[in-house]
C-alpha cells in the first residue's frame, strides 16, 4: 500500500528525515514509535502529500505522491490536533467536509458518528467539546468516506480508558475489513495490541523492530 524509497527531508538546513526506505503492506496495522521530534509526524505528512521530500519518492497504492497525484486518493488522516469550525456542531462540520467530494450521505455521517461514540443530534458547538470528543470527531472525519488507508498520528490522545478500548477494537475491526492503517503512538500497549509491524523513528532515521 505504501512504498517509501530513499526519502530525505531538509527544512531550513536541518536534516529532518534521513534516507528512509520502507514498505507497508496492505491490510495490516503498522506502528510508528519514537520520541517527540524524532520525525514520525513529518514522515506521515510526506506520505499524505502535505510536505514534499527533498529527495526520494513515496507511492501509495501504486501512485507516486507529487507526480501521479498530490495526495493519496483514498486516505483518512489524523495528523496533530484535528481542526474544526468551533461554532458549528460536530455533524455540521462533517457535513461540510463531506460536501467537498459528495461521496456520502447525511445518514452515512450519522452512522459514522454513532460508530465512534458521538451523538449526531448533539447541538453543542465543537468549541465546547472535550478533548476526547474532538478526538472521536477527528476519527469520524477520517473514516466517514470508507478510505482504503488510514494515517493516524496519536489517535488515542484525550480518550478515557473506555474510549481507548473502543478505539482499539474499532481499528482492529477496520483491519479485518482489509483496511491499511499507519499509526503513531506513545503507548506501548496500543502498539502491542494493534500492530502487525513496528518501526522506530530516532533523529529522522527509520528502523524496523518488528
Domains and CATH numbers, the chain: 1-74+149-210 (3.40.50.300), 83-146 (no CATH)
The 10s digit of each residue's pLDDT in 34-52 is 988 899 999 999 999 999 9
Give the integer Cα–Cα distance in Å for 113 and 138: 10
> Which among 30, 29, 20 has a CA at the least distance from the CA of 58?
20
Strand order in the sheet with 14-24: 14-24, 2-11, 55-60, 63-64
Q: Which helix (H) or strand (E) holds 140?
A: helix 131-143
Q: What are the pLDDT digits (tens) for 64-111?
A: 999 999 999 899 999 877 789 999 999 999 999 999 888 999 999 999
Q: What average pLDDT does the structure give for the chain?
A: 93
* C-alpha cell belonging to residue 183: 499509526
Q: Where do we find the cell 470508507?
A: 146
- Set of cell numbers at residue 179: 483496511
Residue 116: all three cell numbers together: 465512534
> SS3 for 14?
strand
Query: d(Cα 165, Cα 167) in Å, to the nearest integer?
Result: 6
Q: Could you tell me where the DSSP H helices lie in 28-121?
A: 40-47, 90-99, 106-115
Share of the chain above pLDDT 70, in %: 100
Question: How far is 210 from 207, CA to CA, in rounded Å?
Answer: 9
Residue 4 pLDDT class (50, 70, 90 cuts): very high
Residue with cell 507497508: 24
**Number of Cα atoms under 13 Å in the Cβ half of residue 90:** 29
For residue 210, pLDDT over 90 is answered with no
Q: pLDDT-based confidence at 186, cuts 50/70/90?
A: confident
Amino acid at each position: 500500500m505504501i512504498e517509501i524509497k530513499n526519502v530525505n527531508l531538509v527544512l531550513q538546513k536541518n536534516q529532518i528525515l534521513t534516507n528512509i526506505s520502507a514498505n507497508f503492506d496492505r491490510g495490516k496495522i503498522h506502528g510508528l514509535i519514537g520520541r517527540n521530534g524524532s520525525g514520525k509526524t513529518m514522515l506521515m505528512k510526506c506520505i499524505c502529500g502535505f510536505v514534499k521530500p527533498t529527495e526520494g519518492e513515496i507511492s501509495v497504492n501504486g501512485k507516486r505522491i507529487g507526480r501521479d497525484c498530490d495526495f493519496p486518493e483514498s486516505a483518512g488522516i489524523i495528523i496533530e490536533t484535528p481542526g474544526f469550525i468551533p461554532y458549528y456542531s460536530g455533524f455540521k462540520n462533517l457535513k461540510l467536509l463531506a460536501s467537498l467530494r459528495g461521496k456520502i450521505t447525511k445518514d452515512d455521517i450519522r452512522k459514522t458518528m454513532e460508530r465512534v461514540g458521538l451523538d449526531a443530534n448533539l447541538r453543542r458547538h465543537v468549541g465546547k467539546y472535550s478533548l476526547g470528543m474532538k478526538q472521536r470527531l477527528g476519527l469520524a472525519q477520517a473514516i466517514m468516506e470508507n478510505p482504503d488507508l488510514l494515517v493516524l498520528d496519536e489517535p488515542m490522545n484525550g480518550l478515557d480508558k473506555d474510549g481507548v478500548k473502543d478505539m482499539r477494537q474499532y481499528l482492529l475491526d477496520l483491519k479485518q475489513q482489509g483496511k491499511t492503517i499507519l499509526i503513531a503512538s506513545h503507548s506501548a500497549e496500543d502498539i502491542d495490541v494493534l500492530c502487525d509491524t513496528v518501526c522506530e523513528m530516532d533523529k529522522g532515521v527509520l528502523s524496523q523492530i518488528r
